[in-house]
Amino acid sequence: MSATLNLFGDWHLSCKENGMVWQTTLPGDVQSTLIAAGDLDDPYVGMQENEAQWVDKRHWTYFRSFEVDAAMLAYDHVYLNAEMVDTLATFRINGKKILSTDNQFRRYRVDVAKVLVEGVNKMEIAFEPPLKEAARRAAAYPLDMPYTTNNRVKHLNHLRKTACHGGWDWGVCLVLTGIYGDLSLHACNMARIEHVCTTQHHGKNVCDVDVTVELFAVKAGQVQLDIELAGQQINQTITVQPGKQNLTNRITIKKPRLWWPAGHGDQPLYDLSVRVGDQCVSKRLGLRHIRWDNSRDSIGTQMTLYVNHKPIFCKGANWIPADGLSTLQTDDVFERLIDDAVDANMNMLRVWGGGQYERARFYELCDEKGMMLWHDLMFACQLYPFDDAFIANVAQEIDFQVKRLRDHASMVLWCGDNEVEGALGWFEQSRKHHDTYLVAYDRLNHANGKAVTQADPNVTYWPSSPSNGPGHQGNVWDNDASGDMHYWAVWHHGKSFDAYYDVIPRFCSEFGYQSFSSIDLVRKYIDPSQFNPTSPQMEHHQRNPRGNSLIMEMFTRYFRMPTSFQSTLYLSQVQQAVAIKTAVEYWRSLRPVCMGTLIWQLNDNWPVASWSSIEYDGSWKQLHYHAKRFYEPVMVTLFHKADDIVQVVGINDHFKAAKLELKLQLVDFAGKVHKKWTRELSVPASTSKVLMTLPIAQLPIARNEGVLLADVVVTDADGSKKTLRNTHFMDLYKRCELADATVTADIKQQGKAFVIQLKTDKPAFFVTCAFTHVAGVFDDNSIDLLPGKTTKLKFTPRQDVTLAQLKKALHVTHLRMTY
Ligand code: BMA
């Protein structure tokens, strides 16, 4: 028999410095409590974030009482389980200290039988101010460990805590204090379950699943073990010895239904339950075989993922914590964002190392929806301690996290860190004493790799992102021949978009371009008197020091200057979409040399100018609509490099050949068609193929007089057809005399959704519909329209709204309207 007492729920929170007490709940954080109580203004609005910075300088104590019955105390073993305790906490029960924590990412379990009493018990969790302790540790450290200047606070590298709590170049600075994972008491006899881990062995039409139960026994004796998987059971009485032990059993699943990444098949999940006594651990397993091919080839080191022995082009984006406040990182937000990723034809997210290991639901949703995860360990952009105590602390974190997450079908790679190998070259100290810091880095990185593979011997451990691969320390920034690459020449180094043609990444795990939030979100957090990109409030919501100048300067290269604030916001999103579309379509055309592109970044954790494709309120930026199209499994891209020859390339991610009907036209800005090409084509499985080449000089109109517009009917694997449009400008947008098109829109209700019918009198580009104060998603947006045809967009609101309200709230923008 066992018993459990969930300690989440109602708590009190007190502040040592001012003696005040609040009623609150856990899971949660101090900042959220103060906001809810009206003692802190919403830090996302205006510049109110500045007013929230006192909170992390104080001592906070959570306290409550709870009842324990005699039955619980009668067990052999009673322990407290605490997860995601952020960060420096001392736990007391009935005045007796039972635990102190200093790692948000570890699971803490302590025996509490001796301190509990029958009846009412008191629990208190006292938190130290994190930054003070971080500074103390930094000062005491024998080597100066440089911290990231992305953050508004110092020395967070000395604490095992979500690094971007300090802000980052897109984030709100809220150095949280709280508990987010679990807080519960458990009582059991004989032994407790520490972990349940599985290993899949795939054969022909069969999958053997080894189920390993890690037990911690408090005394020697016998326990009942029951395993159930795919309708099969194993029931045993087992003998345990005091301490830790592993028990492995095998269950064979015949004719397994395999789990596939989104876009490649279904995600069947098999229920697994493991019982010891009446403690139960349940999981849902997706059966799939994962292999990374990182072998050398004539170019360098490959980075190709095989799922069930099929090559997968990884298409996706980077994931940052879903909100600056832990209480707003809800399951609903997880689901919405993962759905948005799937809807945009993504199959992979990279859980970035400056964030956190997420709550369980995040991983369950990824399993259910086929969203593969590249998972960093939580280290990013700064140098970290490397002494034995720090390494041992991190080893416990890794042991827990890897065992917790390894059975998720979505988990395909563990990576040592984000840009820490690269960061060795960023700081004066580490440049000057390079060898010292390299040895320090290696020490931690190797230990972490060892901890990962001990916790999951079958997983691929990739040392860092970017990295040339295990054992290949070198120039990680400019080497496109090996491993993964972060390509930031466009954006951080201010290069133009054609610089994306200068590299042939094997796997580009980060590249991004900033845009502003759209006007409808800006209205929610910026005062109208500040509607100017360089107003104090707008600059406060731009965390990349050069951000605004990079955006504006790039306008001057490609576009005519926008003449209003609203146009500036809109155009920044056009520009971002063009940048990333250029990169992705070109790199996808390079498959199989390049086998992955992950956009920096999917989401925002507060309203801000950033590289995200989805705005803080969940609306899609133009980029995300373009992503839906440029990540289509079968598509046609058009591009030209310095040679002025337009290449028309077909890309096919499916495992069988794709049929295409291509209708290509050369259209001028009045809508006149100057040339047409019609072709029936096919692209072989899992590859890209040049379909046509068109020298610009041989076209009947000048390059700035029109565009190439490709409409492609793709027959999908299931026989269904869809038409995809792709437009190619042969000259800079600013040099083209775009027609002053009038786009008209009519809205009709269709069940819960609404259909917007768009018509134009002249060609119109980047036509984007939006609704003021109405949240929701379109099935397509930021599209190009030709006269003479009605185009329908479907809008699914995420709130209750009437047709009349929508008609009033609609605004349509296209490129020519910005000047
Ligand atoms: C990347 C990330 C982040 C950062 C982004 C934009 O390299 O790793 O550190 O937010 O660049 O600068």
Instruction: Supply the DSSP string of 461-511, one letter for each residue.
Output: EE-SBS-S-TT--S-TTT--SBS-EE--TTTTT---GGGGGG---S-EEE-
Ligand 1 mean position to 539 CA, how many Å? 19
Q: Give me 296's structure tokens.
A: 């050398």
Give the DSSP H or E segment for 695.
Answer: strand 687-695
Average pLDDT of span 609-636: 98
Instruction: Give the model's pLDDT for residue 2.
Output: 65
14 C-alpha vs ligand 1 centroid, how far in Å?
36
Instruction: Look at residue 624 in the predicted model and tell me its pLDDT.
Output: 98
Distance from Cα 371 to the centre of ligand 1, integer Å: 22
pLDDT band at 476 (very low <50, low <70, confident <90, very high): confident
Out of 277-281, 476-480, 742-746, give the one with best mean pLDDT: 742-746
> Is there an atom of ligand 1 within 6 Å of 587 CB?
no
Distance (angstroms) between ligand 1 centre and the Cα of 477 equals 13
Residues ≥6 apart with Cβ < 8 Å to 515? 551, 569, 572, 573, 575, 576, 609, 610, 611, 621, 622, 623
Ligand 1 contacts CB of residue 600 (under 6 A): yes
Q: Rounded to an integer, what distance in angstroms lies between the CA atom of residue 646 and that of residue 637?
A: 10
Please report, rounded to a whole number, the percentage of residues in the chain having pLDDT higher than 70. Answer: 99
* pLDDT grade for 718, boundaries at 50, 70 and 90: confident
Q: How far, rounded to the nearest angstrom, does the alpha carbon of residue 312 sit from its chain's CA centroid?
A: 19
Looking at residue 780, its amino acid is D
Ligand 1 proximity of 705 Cβ (cutoff 6 Å):
no
In ligand 1, the atom with minimum distance to the C-alpha of 512 is 6
Residue 375: pLDDT band with limits 50, 70, 90: very high
546 C-alpha vs ligand 1 centroid, how far in Å?
14
Confidence of residue 498 (pLDDT cuts 50, 70, 90): very high
The closest of 818, 806, 696 to 756, measured between CA atoms, is 806
Q: Three-state SS for 449?
A: helix
CA distance readout (Å), 465 to 135, 159, 293, 455:
27, 21, 16, 21
Question: What pLDDT is recorded for position 727?
Answer: 98
What is the residue type of 64? R
Give the whole-angstrom CA distance, residue 761 versus residue 743.
7
Span 69-83, average pLDDT: 96
Q: Which atom of ligand 1 is nearest to the CA of 352?
A: 8
Confidence of residue 475 (pLDDT cuts 50, 70, 90): confident
Instruction: Grade residue 370 by pLDDT with cuts at 50, 70 and 90.
Output: very high
pLDDT at 636 over 80: yes
Please compute the mean of the pLDDT values over residues 128-141 and round it to a whole number. Answer: 98
| Residue 557 alpha carbon to ligand 1 centre in Å | 24
> Averaged over 442-450, what is the pLDDT?
97
CA of 541 to the centre of ligand 1 (A): 16
Is pLDDT of 488 > 70? Answer: yes
Mean pLDDT of the chain: 97
Pick left, alpha or beta for residue 22 (phi over 0 → left; psi -120 to 50 → alpha; otherwise beta): beta
Position 38 pLDDT exceeds 90: yes
For 175-217, how does the pLDDT look when each residue is reduced to its tens digit (9 = 90+)?
A: 999 999 999 999 999 999 999 999 999 999 999 999 999 999 9
Given strand 753-760, what is the order of strands in its sheet?
Answer: 743-750, 753-760, 791-797, 776-778
Instruction: Look at residue 1 and tell me whether its pLDDT is greater than 60.
Output: no
Ligand 1 atom, smallest distance to 486 CA: 7
**CA angle (597 as vertex; 592, 602 as ends), nearest 5:** 160
Query: How do residues 675-714 score in pLDDT, each as one tens digit?
Result: 999 999 999 999 999 999 999 999 999 999 999 999 999 9
pTM: 0.98
Ligand 1 in reach of 484 Cβ (< 6 A): no
Q: Which helix (H) or strand (E) holds 11?
A: strand 9-15
Give the per-residue pLDDT at 801. 96
> What percent of the chain has pLDDT above 90?
97
Residue 589 half-sphere exposure toward CB, CA atoms < 13 A: 22
Residue nearest to atom 10 of ligand 1 (CA): 169
User: Is residue 531 within 6 Å of ligand 1 at its C-beta?
Assistant: no
How much is the average pLDDT of 527-553?
Answer: 98
